[in-house]
Structure 1
Amino acid sequence: MKKLEIIAHRGASAVCPENTMAAFEHCLELGATGIETDVQMTSDGRLVLIHDETLTRTASAEGWVKDKTYEELRELDAGSWFHTAFAAERIPSLEQLFGLIRGKNILLNLELKNGIVSYKGMEEKIVEVIRDWDLEQQVILSSFNHASLVRCKRLAPEIQTALLYMEKLYRPYDYAVKLEASALHPYKFAVTREEVAASIAQGVATHPFTVNDPEEMKAMIEMGVQGIITDVPDVLAALTAAHTR
């Protein structure tokens, strides 16, 4: 059986401010084999890692990510909202995270946050940067915007895609095959043992989110999922280590 992917949701977001370099670096220390993060675009076309479309919650600032330049965003404090010890943390660029994971055996799940804001040219830009860094085999692109993922697949057939969804879908594995997606990223309550098995038969992986409770983790492992997206990679790492003894 292939080793379960331990995918840190926004980095080690339970103990560090989400989507910061501190969170990404620390999750690797906690046993993560993958990192999930959210990608948006600045007004001057840079790709940055932040979940919300607005800056209020995690950067203590007014306005929208799309309306700020990269330099304007870099001046903001992206850590103090979590704890004053992280006051030096900034909103990272995608390239900063690439610098951390390149050369390491780490899966990188980039979620395109283009459901509310339609970032023109985002797919082309993200494919270009992935190719510039030679990370085509290390990255999986996910989104709730499935049309965007189809566009990514047409631009770069060699880069994996994953379909994010909240509610149960009918035969999601067939839908994934139709869209040439490599994986399904369902909300944890939309996963069934039968669908995981059917997905495996179609060559489609299942990576549910966001699973933090150890009992829920065990249930997902028993269902046969290939990876779990979690805020607590250390808890999942310990559990998988015990499970394989």
Structure 2
Amino acid sequence: MEFPFGSTVAVAHRGAHGEGRPENSLSAVERTAEIGARAVEFDVVALRDGRLVVSHDEPTGERAESLPDMEQFLRVVAGSDMILNLDWKRRGGEDRACEMLRRYGLLERTLVSSTDRRVITRFKQEAPGVATGISLAQRGTSAAEVAREVSRVVRESRADAAMLEYRGASEETVRVLRGAGVGVFLWTAPDQKTYSELASLEPDGIATDAIEQQLDRQRSL
């Protein structure tokens, strides 16, 4: 995966969720493929019993048993041409994830993001070709300060992209990262209006909770 993309990609945050389609559900990811979105994101947790499940946090008890395996989601993505953003929520299982990504032919179009640099390092060890992104919620007294700090963290983590909480992003941050050859992704636009405002920064991707509205707008232009 090479950056910059050339145009900003709308990323379906936890799938195209909505009425009857909860966040991080298989139906939400299936809907993302149905509406022709270019990219989808969902969260993965490695359970202590070895399972890789789709969840935003580490579940316990009966809830853990009922969560769907990541592999079901990979099958859906493999049957589409979507870019995949796996947001890794807990260390562990990176080797098994890479094996699955290889099996489904998804290594070249997957971006693994995490707040944990050790996760990024492990994915690079297991699959050097997979793209990685360090997730940050940087704030500072000035755009220049944020840009310097983000650049430092990306450089030290050896990530391919920076995944920035959108309220900490600026034109200067994007410009500095672009100059370093780093991909830039923003999270998470809660609505279409916010997405449009963020698009002016020209990042590689914007995670959005309003993917269908955004796609409808793009098609109407």
Deviation at 1:64, TM superposition (A): 6.9
Q: Does 1:125 align with 2:104?
A: no
Contact 1:38 1:111 in 2 (8 A): yes
TM-score, structure 2 length as denominator? Answer: 0.84
Aligned partner (choices 118, 124, 149) of residue 153 of structure 1 = 124
Q: Does 1:45 align with 2:21?
A: no
Contact 2:147 2:176 in 1 (8 A): no
The root-mean-square deviation of aligned C-alpha atoms, in Å, is 2.1
Q: Does 1:18 align with 2:18?
A: no
Q: Measure, in 1, the Cα distance between the counterparts of 2:217 and 2:171.
A: 20
Paired residue total: 209
Deviation at 1:223, TM superposition (A): 0.9
Contact 1:139 1:159 in 2 (8 A): yes
Q: Measure, in 2, the Cα distance between the counterparts of 1:192 and 1:161.
A: 21
Deviation track 1:163-183 (CA, whole Å, cap 9, x = no partner) reads: 111233452234323422121
Structure richer in strand, relative to its length: 2
Matched with 1:230 is 208
Deviation track 1:51-90 (CA, whole Å, cap 9, x = no partner) reads: 12236xxxxxx5674xxxxxxx2xx3xxxxxxxxxxxxxx
Matched with 1:59 is none
Structure 1 consecutive aligned stretches of length 4 or more whose deviation exceeds 6 Å? none
Matched with 1:218 is 196
Instruction: Give 2:117's aligned amino acid.
Output: H
Contact 1:41 1:122 in 2 (8 A): yes
Identity across matched positions, percent: 27
Relative to structure 2, which stretch is displaced further, 37-46 or 104-113? 37-46
Equivalent residues in 2 for 1:202-213, closer than 5 Å: 202-213=180-191
Contact 2:13 2:41 in 1 (8 A): yes
